[in-house]
Structure 1
Amino acid sequence: MLLKHFFFLFSVINYLNAFIPARIIDFLIEKADGSLKDQFGEVSHSYTHEEIIRQGVIRSTVKYFSEQKDLAYLKLNLSQIEKYFNLRALYKLIYNRTFCKTDLDEIIFKDLQPSVASVDFDSDTKDMPYAHFDANTFRESNLRVMNMTKKVLESIRSRKFERAREISGKVLHTIQDFYSHSNWIEMGNHDKINKAIGTVAFDKFKFASKSDNITCVANCTIKEIKCNKMISTMISLLKNLRKTNINCPIKYFKCKGNIVTNDRLVTGYYVDQKLPDGTSASKPADSLMCSHGGLLDSDSFRPVQGGINKDTGYYLFSPHAHLHQTAAKLAIKHTEYFFDQIRAEIGDDDFSKFVRIIMQDLIELIQKNLVFY
């Protein structure tokens, strides 16, 4: 049974190039052997795209409530916004109802979270660098954000709110990946989001390109995990799924200070990525460019070895795992900023419809036979 769990885990991760579902990892590791957390190089809790989008949209919603004149008496404390993450408690405070149904919870679960996760599974985007700010495709990735944000606004103005939420999740995946895939944080931006993303101003930044002969050095420590029978079998099964260099013992990288071009933006290359026209976007063989890195990025074992992604709090999957928390917090801030900007464009009335900031009294719904228990 444990082998099936692990095979499922690595089958899922096989498709991922982003914030990895850490709860699944934690569950399976604890089922097998809690000590594996240390072997896998855990340094912190890992955030997923789903967690990030939930926190971001709720933060923006709390800000919306705090700026409504008729709710000013509540004095919502934006400096302690995390205490409002329980939406039922928040709506109870605002609407003075003990039993209420929050539509925002529903649209997060049914619309935003599936959409933000879909980018890693959709055949059109899972291996396309523009969807992930990979392979130094900064201008192309930014153009994707610009075009998709425009579609969000067009959909809202056409009263196609569900479609707008679907597109929002997909574009936010790309924005969130900027913080875990690029060297924005390593450039010293630990508390600052890049508000130029999604605008023409983004093109004013300096970007690494194929003309750069070197963006990373092999300033990484190689870690090893000894293989028992279960892990050996898992590796054999995994090799049938994807071309990979995984062998026993399992090797992975712990990297610090391996980016040498912090005067410009850099992202890593991930194995087997392709441009929309089918052209390979693999790491150039004749230059020392940064890899995305992680267990399934076989290119990270080619010069220059290592990687720079901050997708998880595990070094097994993220060579810069020590910066994962920072990347996740910036991604949450930018998600909040995205919804704030949408609200500024469309106004409060349409924003309330877009994220369905409405409350329904459960007792009234039951009386109207709209809710059944």
Structure 2
Amino acid sequence: NGTTHQLITECALYTITCDYLNKIYKTNIQTPTITNGSCPTSISDSLKQAFKKQSLDWIQYKLTIVYITAKNELVDAEEQTNAPSHFDSESFTNASQLILDRYTSAINAVKLNEFDDANEFFGRMLHTVQDFYSHSNWIELGHRVPHSQLGVSKIIAGIATPSQRTCTNCVSGTSTCENNVDSSILNANLLTSGYFSLLIPKQSSKPKGKCSHGGDLDGTKTFDAIGGINKDTPASVHGYLHYAAAQTAYLATYNTLKQFWNNITDKPFGNFLSIKACILPILLNNSLISSTKLDHNIILQINDSYVYTTLLQRLQNSSEKFYRLAVIVSYPAIDTYYKTHCVAVATKKHITIDIFRNSTMASTQLNDYGYDVSRLTGGLYVHRFNATTAYLNDIQQLYAKQPPGMVQTLDHLTRQRTNKTLAVNIDQTCKQLYIEFVTAKKTNPFLLQLQALNKSPLTPVLLVNTPFYKVYTLENISVFGLWDVVYFDDTVNHLEIRLSCLSDLKCYSIVSVHNANNVHSGDVELHGNIIQGHKAHIETQCYAQSPINDVKMMLVDETGDTVLIAKHIRQHQINHDHWSTKITVPPSKQSFRIKIVSNNGNIQRVSDKLYQTSQIDVSFNLSSVQAYLYYYEHTSISYTMKNYAESSVSLTLLAKDTNNYFEEKHYILSPNQIKTDTVWLYPIPNGNTTNSDTQQQQTDLLALTITSGLGNNYDILYYPLHPLMGGTSCLKPQYFLSFICFLHIFRK
């Protein structure tokens, strides 16, 4: 495959990290000479040793590198047919503008301490930067250094005209294709790039005489000019220039990182790369306790009714990803307007939230202690938990044993049946197994075994023992395969079970839907509800030491039953640990997780995120929003709602900042009705204005929340009958969509 986007991006990130450590921590890491766009493995080893010597968090850094790289690679899957994302079809002006847009978005995200957003924008932007050298004729023009204006300004000059022939006909695989760029283009030093149409031959997709991208997936390669000019791999049409293009793309990536570092300064750049000390605070009883070891699974105890405000601040202020967070909640929430924002931020950062309701009394149906947040992020909801020092220490020790990114969910389900057997595949990467139980009734410790035909039973050890929450663990697993999890207690009939293991085989799945704006063009990850009966596709990325094969994807409900088996799973052509499949969302009200099974059924993983189906769609138009306002100014946000249901629904929009309600609007939408409206926002500064000439900046958090009504109206979020909640649906009204932004208010 030659040098891939992954290798180029990793190498540039590693080399810029060497520069950063040498400057900030006075290390003396020798950066190897890069010749083909990829780094030797020795650079990773050198960095790991330097991190250890400086007591820096190597795991979080590596997860950030993986995250940036994955967002880069996903552009090929999510934006495959969007020409500017790849500099295809001579889209130089739009593609260079897309780079500027995403670069600016990354800088703005850093300013707001939203480093996960910055990682995503930057990773996607780098893909387009790198494709310039592989998909255009920059290398054919003899250049071996990056384009000086790429990432600085739009490219509007030095481009072949729309009617100008740029390539001659050639036969792929022969020497005629090595020199198929038209001599007039080369002599005039003009830029061109290959046209691309996915699979289906379309002459209309390419003007006559223009270059094609070329390759198996290109539907334009058989039309004049026949052939192609891409340099994606050594086997590509212009593969003889592959390593020259890869090396130049590496230099451009490194230069862009260096420019970004200079723009945002030292400390934010270190946070952008997650270069930080291993010591993290634990917030317990509103007191900070220093942890002497790596402990990302912080226990957050909330002792007032501002549950979601506190949780949202905690999630937004954290640059860590891929970990579990335990939240102790003592009082029902009065700030439910921030609920879905918590879910959106948590799922974007791959944070699983376990809620422990701090009470020995049964909860009532209408009180909101965070059940939704735990359920939708893949967490557990322990409905009765006595937050004594001993129990909190048990929870803290449990989370301390689960490094970020290493905990992989094998299965997660709610059992409403009398059948006490659960089958699970334990693969050879599982170093330690955790089996967690949340029970409806108070239970004593019970015998738990893993049983399999012709195998001696395995008996897990009880690690955490509370009346309604128990954790069993099995270490040093030496026998793998399909096991039945059997628990011997006749009183344990209604329970929630989560099985997970510590593993270096990490798989993450997302559902993507189409979005057409410039910054997030093409298909993008879904963070809200998914519309029943609509098209979507699943992207799965695995990181493993050994090859993953024979991948099957399915949607499973909360009881573990299969809802849908995905067909036509496509393995990524270059990144073989990446799979895509298109699905039609089930037409009925349901919730589901994504389950993958691979290697002939020997490996299984289940996504933490729980997806909800809906029949209400809402989109916000942010094109006219002013992010910076004087206190006397106002701005507006327009939005469109559509009801796909067969009956009318009642909806309410609430616009609120941290101190005030701006506006509340009520709607009744008939079946298939579309409604567009606008909400005006009037930011109210804290305190009185002064006569000082010094401008003061206030950042205000704004939430737009749309809810369904009560009574017989359509329930937007679907809650199945839950045995742990007394067999009834809970927490109405049910929030299904929210939008959150920051208003920067200037005042004199």
Gap change, CA 1:62 and 1:272, over 3 Å in 2: same
Q: In structure 1, what is the equivalent of residue 136 of structure 2?
A: 182
1:106 matched to 2:63? The reply is yes
What are the equivalent positions in structure 2 for 1:357-368 lying under 5 Å apart? 357-360=275-278, 364-365=293-294
1:210 matched to 2:162? The reply is yes
Q: CA deviation at 1:88?
A: 4.8
Q: Secondary structure at the match of 1:108?
A: helix
The whole-number CA distance in structure 2 between the counterparts of 1:299 and 1:253 is 20
2:152 is matched with which residue: 199, 214, 222? 199
1:257 matched to 2:179? The reply is yes
User: Does the 8 A contact of 2:52 with 2:58 survive in 1?
Assistant: no
The whole-number CA distance in structure 2 between the counterparts of 1:77 and 1:222 is 42
The whole-number CA distance in structure 2 between the counterparts of 1:281 and 1:148 is 30
The whole-number CA distance in structure 2 between the counterparts of 1:200 and 1:338 is 13
What are the equivalent positions in structure 2 for 1:78-117 lying under 5 Å apart? 78=31, 80=33, 82=39, 86-93=43-50, 95-96=52-53, 101-109=58-66, 111-117=67-73
Q: CA deviation at 1:327?
A: 1.1
Q: Secondary structure at the match of 1:301?
A: coil
Q: What is the identity, as a one-letter code, of the residue corresponding to 2:110?
A: I
1:144 is matched with which residue: 95, 98, 105? 98
Q: What is the identity, as a one-letter code, of the residue corresponding to 2:111?
A: R
Q: What is the identity, as a one-letter code, of the residue corresponding to 1:371?
A: K
The whole-number CA distance in structure 1 between the counterparts of 2:219 and 2:41 is 42
Q: Secondary structure at the match of 2:217?
A: coil
In structure 1, the gaps of 5 or more residues are 1-21, 23-45, 224-251, 274-279
Q: What is the identity, as a one-letter code, of the residue corresponding to 1:75?
A: N
1:282 is matched with which residue: 180, 187, 205? 205
Q: CA deviation at 1:98?
A: 9.6
Q: In structure 2, what is the equivalent of residue 330 of structure 1?
A: 248
1:76 matched to 2:76? The reply is no
Gap change, CA 1:349 and 1:363, over 3 Å in 2: closer
Q: In structure 1, what is the equivalent of residue 193 of structure 2?
A: 267
Gap change, CA 1:302 and 1:201, over 3 Å in 2: closer
Q: In structure 1, what is the equivalent of residue 118 of structure 2?
A: 164
The whole-number CA distance in structure 1 between the counterparts of 2:57 and 2:264 is 27
Q: What is the identity, as a one-letter code, of the residue corresponding to 2:230?
A: N
Q: What is the identity, as a one-letter code, of the residue corresponding to 2:241?
A: L
User: Does the 8 A contact of 2:87 with 2:193 survive in 1?
Assistant: yes
User: Does the 8 A contact of 1:254 with 1:306 survive in 2?
Assistant: no
Q: TM-score normalized by structure 2?
A: 0.35
User: Does the 8 A contact of 2:103 with 2:125 survive in 1?
Assistant: yes
Q: Secondary structure at the match of 2:220?
A: helix
In structure 2, the gaps of 5 or more residues are 280-290, 296-395, 403-431, 433-748
Q: In structure 2, what is the equivalent of residue 27 of structure 1?
A: none
Q: What is the identity, as a one-letter code, of the residue corresponding to 2:153?
A: V
Q: What is the identity, as a one-letter code, of the residue corresponding to 1:60?
A: I
Give 1 or 2: higher helix fraction. Answer: 1
Cα RMSD, aligned residues only: 3.1
Q: CA deviation at 1:48?
A: 1.7
Q: CA deviation at 1:292?
A: 0.5
Deviation string, structure 1 residues 29-71 (Cα, Å, up to 9, x no partner): xxxxxxxxxxxxxxxxx12212221111111111112223x51
Q: In structure 2, what is the equivalent of residue 9 of structure 1?
A: none
Q: In structure 1, what is the equivalent of residue 20 of structure 2?
A: 64
User: Does the 8 A contact of 2:136 with 2:194 survive in 1?
Assistant: yes
What are the equivalent positions in structure 2 for 1:118-157 lying under 5 Å apart? 118-122=74-78, 125-157=79-111
Gap change, CA 1:201 and 1:115, over 3 Å in 2: closer
User: Does the 8 A contact of 1:217 with 1:304 survive in 2?
Assistant: yes
Gap change, CA 1:59 and 1:281, over 3 Å in 2: farther
Q: CA deviation at 1:329?
A: 1.3
Q: Secondary structure at the match of 1:364?
A: coil
Q: CA deviation at 1:206?
A: 0.2
154-163 or 50-59: bigger deviation? 50-59
The whole-number CA distance in structure 1 between the counterparts of 2:45 and 2:292 is 14
2:227 is matched with which residue: 284, 306, 311? 306
The whole-number CA distance in structure 2 between the counterparts of 1:281 and 1:355 is 44
Q: What is the identity, as a one-letter code, of the residue corresponding to 2:15?
A: R
The whole-number CA distance in structure 2 between the counterparts of 1:360 and 1:350 is 17
Relative CO higher for 1 or 2, CA cutoff 8 Å, sep ≥ 6? 1
Q: In structure 2, what is the equivalent of residue 55 of structure 1?
A: 11
Deviation string, structure 1 residues 162-193 (Cα, Å, up to 9, x no partner): 01101111111111100000011111112x01
The whole-number CA distance in structure 2 between the counterparts of 1:85 and 1:127 is 37
Q: CA deviation at 1:93?
A: 3.2
Q: TM-score normalized by structure 1?
A: 0.68
Q: Secondary structure at the match of 2:179?
A: coil
Q: In structure 2, what is the equivalent of residue 249 of structure 1?
A: none
1:339 matched to 2:261? The reply is no
Gap change, CA 1:347 and 1:84, over 3 Å in 2: farther
Specify the structure having the higher radius of gyration (Cα).
2
Q: Secondary structure at the match of 1:256?
A: helix
The whole-number CA distance in structure 1 between the counterparts of 2:158 and 2:101 is 22
1:173 matched to 2:127? The reply is yes
Q: What is the identity, as a one-letter code, of the residue corresponding to 1:342?
A: F
User: Does the 8 A contact of 2:198 with 2:219 survive in 1?
Assistant: no
Q: Secondary structure at the match of 1:208?
A: coil
The whole-number CA distance in structure 1 between the counterparts of 2:204 and 2:123 is 25
Q: CA deviation at 1:337?
A: 1.4
Deviation string, structure 1 residues 142-172 (Cα, Å, up to 9, x no partner): 0111111100000000100001101111111
Deviation string, structure 1 residues 289-346 (Cα, Å, up to 9, x no partner): 10101122131111111100001111xxx21001111111111221111111111011
The whole-number CA distance in structure 1 between the counterparts of 2:23 and 2:222 is 51
